[in-house]
Amino acid sequence: MKIKMKIKNEKEETETNPRVVSMNGVSGFWKHPRYENCWIYNGRMPTSNCWIYINDNDVQILNVMVYNPEDRKCGFGSQMISDIRLAFPQIHIWVDTWNCSRPFWQKMKLRGMINSIANDYSWPCANTTCTTCHEDRPDYSRRSRFD
């Protein structure tokens, strides 16, 4: 089953960025300049955005970011993922998760916003200050230890 979608150029509506397109009625997508089949969803900027890879039979969401830590756990990420579901209503949407983001994605799966979480194993994020992913991280940083 090949993904069929309506992509509409919104040049008339979005003069600030003529590359912005609408997918199945959801506005705010633009083609990633370096990666094939990759789109950046900026429909919720400046609060949040994400990347999506559109494959023949599925859509992968990645690089999800709610920028201001004070805006996290306020529903902005959920709204963005809901937008992605609206853009791809009948398509299998999946993610890989870090340990620290897994509860969010489990909630999105329960709500029907995504179809699956690909990894069911521990995968610590690259942020070594994240205490969820790096429980054994000392409270002090290396630099402060020697100052």
- The string of pLDDT tens digits covering residues 22-40 is 998 999 999 999 999 999 9
Eight-class DSSP state of 88: S
Length of the chain: 147
- Grade residue 2 by pLDDT with cuts at 50, 70 and 90: low
Q: Which domains does the chain have, with CATH numbers?
A: 7-122 (3.40.630)
- Look at residue 116 and tell me whether its pLDDT is greater than 90: yes
Share of the chain above pLDDT 70, in %: 80
- Grade residue 18 by pLDDT with cuts at 50, 70 and 90: low
- Grade residue 79 by pLDDT with cuts at 50, 70 and 90: very high
The number of beta carbons lying within 10 Å of the beta carbon of residue 123 is 14
What does the pLDDT read at residue 5? 56
- Look at residue 62 and tell me whether its pLDDT is greater than 80: yes
What does the pLDDT read at residue 140? 53
Backbone angles phi, psi at 85, to 5 degrees: -60, -40
* DSSP string computed for 8-41: EE-TTT-SS-TT-EEETTEEEEEE-SSSTTEEEE
Q: What is the arithmetic mean of pLDDT over 125-130?
A: 78
Mean pLDDT (the chain) is 83
- Look at residue 56 and tell me whether its pLDDT is greater than 60: yes
